[in-house]
Every structure is written in C-alpha cells, then in structure tokens.
C-alpha cells in the first residue's frame, strides 16, 4: 500500500499566553485612586469617632471628669481608622491595577502609604478646611473648655521650671513614639491591603 499521496496531519502544541507584568512596577493611577479612597475613608471614620465621643461627652453628667477618657478614646479610634483606611486604600490600589505579582503589589502599597503620610502631614500643617476641619476645631475647643483648671502649657521658656520641662519633654516623646509606631502600623496595613487585592494571573489556551 502506498501512502505517498495521503495528507499528513500535523498537531501543533498548545502554547499558553501568559499575562506579563507591567514594564514599570509603580502604577501612579491606581496609587492616586487608593490615596483618594484612603483619605476619604479616614475623614469619614475620624468624623464618626469625634461625633460619637462628643455626643457621649455632651450627654454625660460630669463632662470635666469624662473629658480625658473621651479624648483618649478618640485618639485610639483615630489610629484604628487610619489602619482601616490604609488597608482599604491598598486594596483599591491593587484592584485598580492590572494583574501583578505580590511583590509589586507590596511596593505599590508602600508608595501609597508614603504618599498618604506626606499629603496627610501637609493637610494638617496647612489646616483642613470644610466640614471635617470645622468639626475638629470645635472638638478641640470643647476639650479645652471642659479641662479648665488643668496646668496650661507655658507661653515662654523662662517661665518653665524643671518639673514642667520634664513633663513637656515626656509628653513630646510619647507623641513622637506614637507617631513612629502608628506610621509603621499604617505601612503594614497598606501593604496587607495591597497584597489582599492582587489580581491573579490568568492563562489562556
């Protein structure tokens, strides 16, 4: 039997087309989107905490006695709201990006944290206007009024004695350490959120 005239069927191997990463690992569009979501979430959650705290203070029978507890509660809630907002912002950053590996998502989450920290510091230094700014300023005024009779911070250095200087230094150190640890926790929350929002690679046949 002759097989010379019969066509030969050639089976080509199936080649998978894999989605590759972006050439530039930093995606500013998604980072800005995550930044906007993080700042908005932070403002809403902070306003919610301040409103609840001030409402409890207004309805309490001893506002001066409860002022310290309410102030501490608002401070703790502000840290928690910051972590939540950075987590959500990191998640949005990854979801708004194309498929990427986890290390790239962590990098973009870290840049989101740094951008949020820089812009947040600038907003605090320049003064936040709008509804949240009015609420924050009124909250500070209320706490100053209910805490009348406490030791005021001296206005000039010559009036500061040794005990007051140690107290001021101790309070400043506490604020500094709180800022450091809060910032590191914020970085961790942003990177965890970015890692959780990674879009998986898909293969097509």
- Give strand pairing partners of 203: 18
User: Region 132-154: what's the mean pLDDT?
Assistant: 48
Distance CA 186, CA 95 (A): 19
φ/ψ of 3, rounded to 5, equals -115, 15
Distance CA 59, CA 66 (A): 11
> Comparing C-alpha atoms, which of 31, 200, 201, 20 is closest to residue 108?
31
The predicted-structure confidence for 62-87, as pLDDT tens digits, reads as follows 656 566 676 677 778 888 998 999 99
Residue 50 has a pLDDT of 82
| Mean pLDDT of all residues belonging to the chain | 75
> Comparing C-alpha atoms, which of 76, 97, 91, 105 is closest to residue 41?
91
For residue 136, pLDDT beyond 50: no
For residue 115, pLDDT beyond 90: yes
> Comparing C-alpha atoms, which of 68, 76, 20, 23 is closest to residue 46?
76
**pTM score of the predicted model:** 0.67
User: Region 49-58: what's the mean pLDDT?
Assistant: 79
Residue 26's pLDDT band (boundaries 50, 70, 90)? confident
User: Region 32-37: what's the mean pLDDT?
Assistant: 94
Residue 89 has a pLDDT of 95
CB neighbour burial string for 163-186, b if at least 16 within 10 angstroms, e if fewer = eeeeeeeeeeeeeeeeeeeeeeeb
- With contact defined as beta carbons under 8 Å apart, do 84 and 172 qualify? no
Residue 131's pLDDT band (boundaries 50, 70, 90)? very low
Residue 159 has a pLDDT of 65
Residue 169 has a pLDDT of 82
Q: What is the DSSP code (8-state) at residue 4?
A: T
């Amino acid at each position: 039997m002759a097989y010379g005239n019969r066509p030969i069927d050639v089976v080509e191997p199936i080649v998978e087309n894999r989605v590759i990463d972006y050439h530039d690992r930093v995606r500013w569009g998604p980072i800005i989107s995550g930044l906007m979501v993080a700042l908005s979430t932070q403002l809403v959650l902070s306003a919610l905490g301040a409103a609840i705290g001030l409402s409890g203070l207004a309805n309490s029978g001893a506002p001066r006695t409860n002022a310290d507890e309410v102030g501490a509660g608002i401070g703790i809630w502000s840290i928690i709201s910051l972590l939540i907002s950075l987590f959500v912002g990191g998640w949005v950053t990854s979801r708004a990006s194309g498929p990427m590996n986890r290390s790239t998502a962590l990098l973009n989450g870290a840049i989101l944290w740094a951008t949020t920290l820089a812009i947040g510091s600038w907003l605090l230094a320049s003064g936040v206007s709008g509804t949240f700014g009015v609420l924050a300023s009124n909250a500070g005024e209320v706490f100053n009024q209910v805490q009348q009779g406490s030791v005021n911070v001296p206005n000039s250095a010559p009036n500061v004695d040794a005990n007051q200087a140690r107290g001021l230094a101790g309070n400043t150190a506490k604020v500094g350490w709180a800022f450091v640890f809060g910032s590191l926790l914020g970085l961790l929350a942003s990177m965890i959120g970015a890692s959780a929002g990674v879009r998986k690679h898909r293969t097509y046949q």
